[in-house]
Amino acid sequence: MTRRFTVCAGVFCGAVLYFTVWETSHRRWTSHEASWPLPDFGGRHNSVPSPRRWLGIGELVPQVVVDPSRQYEAETFAAIKRVYHCLANYEDCAERPEGNVVIVAYEHFWRTTSGNTGGEIIWCESLLTAFKGLGYSVLTATNVDMALFLYRLFPDLVRVVIMQFLPNLNSNFVATCFNDRFCIRSAKNPTGIAPWKIFGFSFWETGGNSLEYQHPWGTSRVLSPYRFPKHYYIGYAISHHCTKTPVIAPENRTNQAFILAKESSYFYDDQDKLAFPLDAYTTITRQTGIRVVTVAKETIGQPIPGGVEKRGQLTREDFYEELSSSKILIGIGRPFLSPSPFDALCLGVPFVNPYNATRIKSMDEIRSGDIWNPFSLQHGALAELRPPFVYHVPMGNTSALVAAVREADQNPIRGRGLPQEMWMESLMERVKELVEVTDWEERAREEELL
């Protein structure tokens, strides 16, 4: 017990020193280019900190100051203390929830408290909610050196390391670590990160381009929000947010259709992506009596089209209120793969999903290559859904758009229409499969990757 306590105390103090040195060096965690100046333990990243070297620095604890604007730092420090407490008090710490350590090194994980509501932020926030709901200890790193340091605090407890995976090699943490002999575990570097624990993380489908080859073990080790071919589907959830807003009975809703758009430029997109003519929206109101509204930000030289009422920018909660009172959400080609259509379904509001009729002759016979192609379909994850939940409308066909709006008004969704896989309980099951159930080392050996 004494020895275990000493080791744990060493780890804890090491973490304290980690944060203290970082703060006193006046380097922000958000610096991508600068490597964190790790303590010198006898070789670049190549020695495990000895507990004895951490002893005697407990007096540094009161000096640890976390910038309130960088909440992930405070949460990482709290998680390290939680793991330390687990190791110090439980022989079976590795079997306890907090003994499942997950390291995340991806830009949008550390921006989940920024107030941004982009798709990547929503994805990361839902995963963090699942991790914490399962009791896992989540450590956030903003560069590869920090991920390596955090990994070495609890190498046997770290289950997965989720790393940034972007085309730019300077920000592709997966490639950086695999190509760094001091980062990746090997016979000469036994304290590096075990390669079978490293997963790329991409909101976009990566097959068919050079990005696919930047993870040495292929796209099966790239976590994705949707069921992209050959990727590891982890998905996301929105039920923990959208269900806070009650479903409004169809007869009590405002007589309006909501346009999904971040900017007015979306109405003027390239011809291959332009969903509907600019006069389509006045036609909707004239033929159905349903007015059309949007919260799109107006860009210079590209005004909101006539017939579309402009709403101001909304918080997430206000967005839910406005959406829940609408009769239908209309997609206009962009944003591609947005979570918002699922928000709508959760609130009992159907979605118009535009598709390119020159590429897709029939939604019942869609080719797999078109499902995730932004020039073919706005939202591939909705390709299998049909009315009253999703109306697939040919781009440029105003008559079909008007017919979809009219049918949605006459045959509304009753209750919530959110697919089961978008509920938090389903996400947690997938996360458990990734973190706890699958033996990734064994899988790597079966696939002859080791």
For the chain, what is the mean pLDDT? Answer: 84
Strand pairing class (232-233; 222-224): parallel
Q: Residue 352 to residues 57, 305, 328, 404, 433: CA-CA distances in angstroms?
A: 61, 18, 8, 7, 34
Neighbours of 74 (CB within 10 A): 14
Q: Are 164 and 202 in contact (CB under 8 A)?
A: no
Residue in 102, 128, 123, 110 with CA at minimum distance from that of residue 202: 123
pLDDT in tens, 105-124: 998 888 777 667 788 999 99
Q: What are the CA-CA distances from residue 229 to residues 164, 220, 420, 426 (Å)? A: 20, 9, 20, 20
pLDDT digits 0-9 by tens, 219-268: 899 999 999 999 999 999 999 999 999 999 999 999 999 999 999 999 98
pLDDT at res. 285: 97
Written as six digits, the tokens of 208 are: 């068919």
**Under DSSP, is residue 332 helix (H, G, I), strand (E, B) or coil?**
coil
Q: Give the pLDDT band (50/70/90) at residue 73.
A: confident
Q: How sure is the predictor about 68, in pLDDT bands with cuts at 50, 70 and 90?
A: low
Angle separating helix axes 2-24 and 71-89, nearest 10 degrees: 170
Question: How many Cα atoms occupy the beta-carbon half-sphere of 155 within 13 Å?
Answer: 16
Can you name the residues that pair with 353 across neighbouring β-strands?
A: 392
pLDDT attached to residue 15: 52
Identify the DSSP state of 178. H
- At 269 the pLDDT is 77
With 70 as the cut, is the pLDDT of residue 181 above it? Answer: yes
Q: Which of 293, 269, 255 is nearest to 406 (CA)?
A: 255
Q: Is the pLDDT of residue 372 over 60?
A: yes
pLDDT for res 270: 67
Whole-angstrom CA distances from 80 to 288, 334, 340 are: 58, 41, 35
3-state helix, strand, coil in the chain (%, to 5): 40, 15, 45
On the question of pLDDT at 12 being above 80, the answer is no
| Residue 83 · residue 43 · CB < 8 Å | no
Q: Which two tokens stand for residue 152?
A: 């070495």
Take residue 105 and report the two structure tokens written for it: 């090194």
Give pLDDT, residue 77.
87
83 DSSP assignment: H
What SS3 state is found at 171? coil
Predicted local distance difference test score (pLDDT) of residue 24: 36
Tell me the angle at which helices 119-133 and 424-432 cross, rounded to the nearest 10 degrees.
70
* pLDDT for res 37: 37
Query: Is there a contact between 424 and 126 (Cβ–Cβ < 8 Å)?
Result: yes
pLDDT of 7 strictly over 50: no
Q: How far apart are CA 243 and CA 245, in angstroms?
A: 5
What per-residue confidence (pLDDT) applies to 5? 46
Q: Which amino acid is at 127?
A: L
Structure tokens at 324: 């829940």
| Cβ proximity of 449 and 379 under 8 Å | no
Evaluate the omega torsion of the peptide bond into residue 225 and state whether it is cis, within 30 degrees of 0. no
pLDDT of 107 reads 86
Gap between the Cα atoms of 8 and 87, Å rounded: 6
